[in-house]
Structure 1
Amino acid sequence: MKRAALVVAAVAAALVTPTANAAEPVRFATFNASLNRAAEGELLADLSTPDDEQARKVAEVVQRVRPDVLLLNEFDHVEGNAAVDAFRTNYLARGQRGADPIDYPYAYTAPVNTGVPAGMDLDNDGTVGGPGDAHGFGAFPGQYGMVVLSKYPIGQVRTFQQFRWADMPGARLPDDPATPEPADWFTPEELAQVRLSSKSHWDLPIDVGGRTVHFLTSHPTPPAFDGPEQRNVLRNQDEIRFWADYVTPKRGDYVYDDEGVRGGLRPGARFVVAGDQNSDPLDGDSNGIRELLHAPRVIDPRPGSAGAVEASATQGGANETHRGSPYFDTGDFDDESPGNLRIDYVLPSAPLVPLRSGVFWPTANDELSRLDDASDHHLVWLDLLG
């Protein structure tokens, strides 16, 4: 009996302790930093000196929260690592207003679909070209890109930039309401090329103390700026569903990555889904996040902040009619519509153990509230064991 008890204890310890020498919690975070610019090359120019005020605020938020693994959304992609290296060197490696510098020896960035011309009239406005006819809405290739920074090694990444929307079983394809045929917003020729990801979906294996945690990152399109076809609402929902299928055994068998490798995540693999999902469980124009929140093994740590509660009460407007608690809001948007929403997520899988979580949204009487305008989103963080 004693031996059996020892075996049970050992198994339990293994579930919550990465290794004997790596028992410290690991902090994962996501931050839509709004480090996007109106023209190609502007972000790199801004980051090439240590003087950009917004970048300094973004860096200070990161330095105050000090995540170990961080996804930055809306960081314009530049071929190579020039912009990422400039941000690390000129901002993160310099203490901002009393905060300690922070070092990320590992970084990953890759091309995204925003601004990549499709060569087709995808928005059906009668002309070809411009942001609405790109594979993802953007004025130039790489606008609103993504970056992952990590204190832990990053393994072989799977990217899904070119996965076609029509190849998702039960795809919620938009419909032209002026015609009798269903789901015919796109022509057959367009459907053969239209991509699901408005930016990309990445599976980054992070080596944490000898164990792999798959960091599943994305940034679905906002479910807004639509006509009656609801092209963006439907795309947002399917971009979120991609991860729900990917982490569910057998449901992700249809998935293929940019190297042609098929299949979803290996059953039992540890993962953390992160990113600006542009979807609130109860309010706003898309509630597609519910599908991911209810996926097998997904844990919702429900991070929040007092600052979000204060902002909702102070700003009023649409916030007064929301069904969800403002405590969980992460985005500070137009007071009349849609109001503040919970749209940024860090969602771990069992058997990872969430210890603490939060949203960096200081209240007005906090000296750090001067950082609240770094972006219209607030950094979301989560401490994990396992």
Structure 2
Amino acid sequence: MTPRLSRRRALVAAAAAGLGLPAAATATAAEPARRGGPFQSLRAATFNASLNRGREGQLLEDLATGKDAQIRAVAEVIQINSPDILLLNEFDHDDEGRGVDLFREKYLEVPQNGQSPAFYPYAFTAPVNTGVPSGLDLNRDGTVGGPDDAWGFGQFPGQYGMVVLSRYPILADQVRTFQNLRWADMPHNLLPTEFYGPEISPQLRLSSKSHWDVPVQIGTDVLHVLAAHPTPPSFDGPEKRNQRRNHDEIRLWVDYLQPGRRSQWIVDDAGTRGGLEPSAPFVILGDLNSDPADGDSWPGAIEQLLRHPRVQDPKPSSDGAVEAAETQGGANAEHGGEARYDTADFAEPTPGNLRVDYVLPARGLQIASSAVYWPRRGEPGSELTGSHPFPTSDHRLVRVDLQVKA
């Protein structure tokens, strides 16, 4: 057994115990950071890559071949955009971290369609709530079991998981995870207690997957990567349990950024209480499943974060999203929001294309540029973002370039 494998197994075992430690780093050194004078450019990105499968272990099998067409296309999108820090949503979790290693070694570190390899020596992944049996009748259908009765909707534990990849060191001993935080502990929550009843309501977990605070060392500074993937505000009944949960999952970050009493209800999986220090730089990454103007979100769900005094919204955009909305028509023609900000192709039959994927830096960080990777038809890369059946995902990679201290 090599030292790298031994170290990986120890770290992942600790993560499974709720300590939130990263999967193994590859042996390859990080690429040099882009520099320019006293500052350097850092690209942060989020990508719901649809690297989820319908059967436990299936993603590992596909990754092991090194030849899966969809995974190769996902890797090519990442290589083209070359983020320094990347959150992948919908990447099935395995407790040993094999999927993360296979994805890097057999796809990202291999040139895809002539692109340069992408090396990420540091990675973080941890258990999520999707597919984890609750032992409770959460959908109130009179039976217990199945994806609707898991803490987060999923066919098996870890489906639709998350991964943070980084070219900079992840401070493993400072990571905070919030997988087990109870929804009822949030003051003034939207929990539909009448639907769930007095037995179930106090036990429900807030995060449908998890919420992570992953500190990354960049020079002498530490950037807090706040990663999440709230539940879609759909697929429920008149009680609107998913709409409500989506709103409150987003609100967790709102409270986390508030000093003092507002964040004292928040307790991480290691038992530490409170939110982020007022002076700490951060970037929020994730498929937050909420559009400011359209779709099925609870009123004000994403606005509570976009209007937060510590958050700035670079509003990444693309011409490809405008073209797609015009070509597809349908629900897109009735939208109140601008199509250029869309990040997901949900055209048929409803709700149309939406802005649901976000990179939201702290106000103290300087933004150099931002974009949604959605080429127009016929442009290079458009074959990677076509319509259904999607070559990669129904979501697009969203990126923001920041100026940070060298």
* TM-superposed deviation, 1:38: 0.1
- Partner residue of 1:5? none
Tell whether 2:100 aligns with 1:84.
Answer: yes
Helix, strand or coil: the match of 1:382?
A: strand
State the match for 1:14 in structure 2. none
1:153-172 alignment to 2 at 5 Å? 153-155=169-171, 156-172=174-190
The alpha-carbon deviation at position 58 of structure 1 amounts to: 0.3
Q: Is the 8 A contact 1:345 1:380 kept in 2?
A: yes
Aligned counterpart for 2:205 among listed residues 195, 205, 215? 195
Equivalent position of 2:282 in the other structure: 271
Query: After superposition, where does 1:3-14 map in structure 2 within 5 Å?
Result: none
1:282 aligns with 2:300: no
Cα shift readout 1:299-356 (whole Å, capped 9, x = no counterpart) = 0000000000000000000000000000000000133310000000000002101110
AA partner of residue 216 (structure 1): L
Deviation at 1:87, TM superposition (A): 0.2
- Rounded to whole Å, the distance in 2 between the matches of 1:151 and 1:80 is 21
Which secondary structure state, in structure 1, belongs to the residue aligned with residue 360 of structure 2?
strand
Corresponding letter in the other structure for 1:225:
F
**Following the alignment from structure 2 to structure 1, what is the Cα–Cα distance between the partners of residues 210 and 37?**
35
2:89 to 66, 70, 73: 73
Q: Give the alignment partner of residue 55 of structure 2, picking from 13, 18, 39.
A: 39
The secondary structure found in structure 2 opposite 1:25 is strand
Aligned length: 361
What is the CA deviation profile of residues 142-191 of structure 1, one whole-angstrom value per residue up to 9, with x for unaligned ones?
000000000001112100000000000011012xxxxxxxx311122212
Which of 211, 217, 225 aligns to 1:215? It is 225
Within-5 A mapping of 1:298-377: 298-372=311-385, 373=390, 374-377=392-395
Q: Quick one: distance in 1 between partners of 2:352 and 2:218?
A: 38
The residue type equivalent to 1:28 in the other structure is A
State how far apart, in whole Å, the 1-side matches of 2:137 and 2:277 are: 38
| Conserved? CA contact 2:328–2:347, under 8 Å | no
In structure 1, distance between residues paired with 2:59 and 2:36: 42
1:59 is displaced (CA, Å) by: 0.1
Q: Kindly indicate whether the alpha-carbon contact (under 8 Å) linking 1:319 and 1:335 is maintained by their aligned counterparts in 2.
A: no
Specify the SS of the correspondent of 1:143: coil
The 5 A counterparts of 1:85-104 are: 85-104=101-120
Give the 3-state SS of the residue equivalent to 1:241 in structure 2: helix
TM-score for both structures, normalised by structure 1: 0.92
- RMSD of the TM alignment (CA)? 1.4
CA contact (8 A) 1:297 1:349 kept: yes
C-alpha displacement at 1:357, in angstroms? 0.3
SS in 2 for 1:59: helix
Residue identity matched to 2:190: R
1:28 and 1:70 in contact (8 A); partners too: yes
Q: Could you tell me whether the CA contact under 8 Å between 2:332 and 2:347 is conserved in 1?
A: no
Q: How does 1:19-34 map to 2 (within 5 A)?
A: 23-34=39-50
**Contact 1:357–1:382 (CA<8 Å) still a contact in 2?**
yes
Distance 2:246 2:138 in 1: 16
Q: Find the residue that maps to 2:66 and give its secondary structure.
A: coil
For residues 347 and 145 of structure 2, the distance between their equivalents in structure 1, rounded to whole angstroms, comes to 29
Deviation at 1:20, TM superposition (A): 9.6
Rounded Cα–Cα distance in structure 2 between residues aligned with 1:41 and 1:21: 47
Structure 2 equivalent of residue 106 of structure 1: 122
User: Counterpart amino acid of 2:118?
Assistant: I
TM-score scaled to structure 2, two decimals? 0.87
| Runs of 5+ unmatched residues, structure 1 | 1-18, 175-182
**Distance in 2 (alpha carbons) for counterparts of 1:324 and 1:118:** 38
Q: Identity rate of aligned residues, in percent?
A: 59
Structure 2 stretches lacking a partner, 5+ long: 1-34
Runs of 4+ in structure 1 off by over 2 angstroms are: 19-22
